[in-house]
Amino acid sequence: MKRIAVLISGTGSNLKNLADKCRELSSKVKIDLVVSNVKDVKGLEIAKHYGIDTVVLEDAGSKISIVGKNIADYNEFVRLRVAAEKAFDGINSYLSKLDFPYSVQQLLTDCLSNINTVSNVLEEDIKVGVLQGVFFKAFAKHQVNKEEESEVLSKIESILSNLTKEMGQIAILFQSIKKNPSFLSFFERENYDLSLHKILAERGIDYIFLAGFMRVLSPSFVDKWEMKILNIHPSLLPAFAGSKAVKEAFEYGVKITGCTVHFVSAGVDSGKIIAQMPVEVLSEDTVETLHGRIKQAEKELYPSVLERLINGKI
């Protein structure tokens, strides 16, 4: 008997489709647990209706958020946000004291003009990523001592990151400078994913099915569950990755879209494709009617993948 966990954030129609398939395959597979990162969502009611245990693991609600779309495109950046332009002035005065050749703004401009590979990312995000690089490069180059480094960094109000190693280093640095507990939230993603991992591992989960789960899982979590996490996405990947896939495909004017089931890798909506189903865009469609028909396709596709997986065909 294989045990699966379904991770949700919303209405849970895919959860229902999977639960129905599990009933059909009852001796081979069961949904052992539903995890939601949002409380009071319809998907949780569906889980209860099917007698499935539920856990609500809420987002920390910290300042941290992923605002770019193509996270995989700028994985090499640790993103560090200086919360306001005014903070730049403070930082600049420290930089000039340290005999830096440029102001933060100049460094940002220089760095931004060197970025060609990043697409679909908010400009602010890029700045944030570059800024981290600027500081660390600058510190190394000028052999800044710890005290001076602390002074500069104490001007920074919050940090964003989707990388763990560098994040850890920065967070440790900050903790030693500022005794501000909000900086502990840097670890939010890692902490969340660790709690999630523990819950799933303790229950002996074999596969994780993401069904509208609106969180990006950290690379360390994905590593632990390599080829064990599946996701369903409402477009024909690799076209229209990200959280607004249906709207973007519709607005682009594609004539065929659809849905994709894939293994989850560290990037967003990337990872080996398992199955796809096309859906035609009709002239009278709205984003909503189109999404409705995509969901009809999902109703067939996700359960059929579950069945093949359980029968060792994937």
Q: Annotated active-site positions, please?
A: 233
269 counts as binding ligand GRF under rule CB under 6 A: no
Cβ-contact 264, 239 below 8 angstroms: no
Which of 2, 3, 11, 150 contacts ligand GRF by CB under 6 A? 11
CA angle 222, 189, 210 (to 5 degrees): 45
Closest approach, Cβ 279 to ligand GRF, in A, equals 11
Comparison of 127 and 295: residue with beta carbon closer to ligand GRF? 295
Instruction: Compute the distance between CA of residue 168 and CA of residue 183 in angstroms, rounded to an integer.
Output: 11
Q: How far is CA 233 from the centre of its chain?
A: 14
CB-based contacts of 107, cutoff 8 Å, min separation 6: 130, 131, 134, 138
Instruction: Compute the distance between CA of residue 266 and CA of residue 219 in angstroms, rounded to an integer.
Output: 5
233 counts as binding ligand GRF under rule CB under 6 A: yes
Which of 6, 14, 77, 153 contacts ligand GRF by CB under 6 A? 14
**What's the sign of the alpha-carbon dihedral 173, 176, 180, 182?**
positive
133 counts as binding ligand GRF under rule CB under 6 A: no
Closest residue to ligand GRF, Cβ-based?
212
12 counts as binding ligand GRF under rule CB under 6 A: yes
Closest approach, Cβ 209 to ligand GRF, in A, equals 10
Binding to ligand GRF, residues 26-45 (CB under 6 A): 43
212 counts as binding ligand GRF under rule CB under 6 A: yes
Binding to ligand GRF, residues 45-84 (CB under 6 A): none
Instruction: Compute the distance between CA of residue 41 and CA of residue 38 in angstroms, rounded to an integer.
Output: 7
232 counts as binding ligand GRF under rule CB under 6 A: yes
CA angle 236, 241, 242 (to 5 degrees): 140
Q: Could you list the residues that contact ligand GRF (CB under 6 A)?
A: 8, 10-14, 43, 211-212, 232-234, 259, 295, 298
